[in-house]
Every structure is written in C-alpha cells, then in structure tokens.
Structure 1
C-alpha cells in the first residue's frame, strides 16, 4: 500500500478545491495547466459573473491529488496575484441557505398567526 494513502486526512479535505484571488483574465485552459500538474482533474469551473470573477472550483479525481494541489498552490503567484486555495465545504454554504429559509419561514408564521416581535 502506498505510504501516502495510509495517512489520515483532516475532515475538511475533499476532492473539490475552491480557489480565490485569481486573475480575472485567466482561462480554463490555463487553470488546467497549473492545477493539472498535481493529478487528474474531473472538472474546472471558472467564475465569470460579476460576483464570481476571480474564483474557481477545481474537482480532482483523487482526494490525495487535491490535497497535494492545495498544499503546493496556496499562495502561488499567477500574474501578480497570490492564490487562496481552500477545500470546498458544502455544509457551510447550505447552512447559510437553510438559516435564511428558516428565518423566512418564521416570518411567514408570525404574519399568519399575528405575532409581533
């Protein structure tokens, strides 16, 4: 068995990386060139909307490749910008969405039953 694979991984480690502080003009091909050095990539999604520019999701085939890329590319300089590479955590995103849904639900119930704050 590969010694690398016998190491325990931190709970936040996963195959999906969230990258911030990218140059706005970076192409998907350039992203594959930089991130592909660390292993096989399943998908890269570069943000192109006004609120997602400078960000990207990089999905690796293997969790250990994602871990290696995260460790090596954190602070990597591309066109004068230093990358911020994080493990994507879906539960943090959905937790915020669920909180907003619950707040809306409570507001509707207060209106329905005539409850004032």
Structure 2
C-alpha cells in the first residue's frame, strides 16, 4: 500500500513501513516470530451487518527502525503487533461516518495467506 506520505510493503513474514511528515519520518521493519494467528482458527469473522471478513494477527514481531524528528535520527528496537481485517465493513461503520456502504468498502477483498 502506498500514498505520498505512507508506504507499507511486505508479506506475512516481514513488513516494512515508512511514514513521512513535514518534520518527522518513521521507517520500521517488523519480522514475524511465527505464522499469523487466524481469528476463530479459520480467519473468518463476522459482525452486525457483515458476514464476509477475514482477520489475522501477528503478535510479538521483532521491530527495528529509525524515527527522525526535526532532523534528529533515533534508532528504535522493540516488539510490535499487526492486526489485519479485510473484507466488507459492518453497516454501522458507514452509518457512523455518514457515508454510503459503497464509499466505506474496500475496492476488492484480499485473500488470507
């Protein structure tokens, strides 16, 4: 995924994140310690107004990188957690945002890996 301010790439084993702002920049690499944890053991989840979503978590990802604030770089090391949900959003999300269902939905669901 990429925007002018954000780039997020990788697969289920390694993720790379880069975010840049006017006076700050963040560059992280996170490495999974094992396979993703699938919601309900199958990766399928549902909630009010939605029946076709997938969910996975990658806890305890070893993370390293750099944070730059006002041109001063800081090396960082730690543990991060990635939580992913894909598919149609529940109806109440669109309603609470004052949007149509079509505007609140992703363009195409992504398969669980």
TM norm structure 2? 0.25
Q: Identify, as 1 or 2, the structure richer in strand.
A: 2
- Give 1 or 2 for the bigger CA radius of gyration: 1
TM-score, length-scaled by structure 1? 0.25
Specify which structure has the bigger relative contact order, considering alpha-carbon pairs within 8 angstroms and separated by 6 or more residues.
Answer: 1
